[in-house]
Amino acid sequence: MRPKQISGSHKTVPKAQAGSMLLIVVFMMVVLALLVTTLGSLISDSSQKTSVEVRATRALMAAQSGLEYGFYKVGNADKDNPTAVAEMCNNIDKYSLLLDDITGLAQCTATVTCEAVDDTETYSIISEGSCGDALTASHSKDDTSTDFAVSRTLTAEAQ
């Protein structure tokens, strides 16, 4: 079959478009939507990891504060009286410091434990710093809860 002849400079009528451009546009829109979704989840994951790192650093600082408190208490006991030092160590056993009033350590606590090492005059001071609300985090009904608990433990010995 021959194309129609028309008058003027054009000798043939162009063939009608088959809609391939529409398919290309739809394909590009789907690809861009997937790309935007992927980038959004990457940004969300990065933000969540940063939040965990910040809270872990705060828990470490809380543990450090508890350790310093333990050193202060044992260090201020009468060194010439070993029973006074042992008694001071027993008094701070499982002592909890609530650090809400300290800037940067809101929702953080430090639990200090002191133990005598054998029969020597050496004492082991253990401090666990924790930040966040473990009760809220464990009872959360959805997986998108942003509240979580982080803890860090430090141990040192004093004579």
Q: What is the largest CA-CA distance in the chain?
A: 120
Residue 134's pLDDT is what? 61
Residue 136's pLDDT is what? 47
In DSSP notation, 52-121 reads HHHHHHHHHHHHHHHHHHHHHHHHTS-TT-HHHHHHHHHHTTTEEEE-TTSTT-TTEEEEEEEEE-TTSS
By C-alpha distance, which of 119, 136, 128, 115 is closest to 154? 128
3 state DSSP class of 158 = strand
Give all strands of the β-sheet with 95-98 in edge-to-edge order. Answer: 95-98, 108-116, 123-131, 150-158
Residue 57's pLDDT is what? 92
Residue 142's pLDDT is what? 46
- Per-residue pLDDT 10s for the chain (159 aa) are 566 665 556 566 666 666 788 889 999 999 999 999 988 888 888 878 888 888 999 999 999 999 999 889 888 877 777 777 788 888 887 788 888 888 888 889 999 998 888 777 788 999 999 998 764 444 444 444 457 889 999 999 887
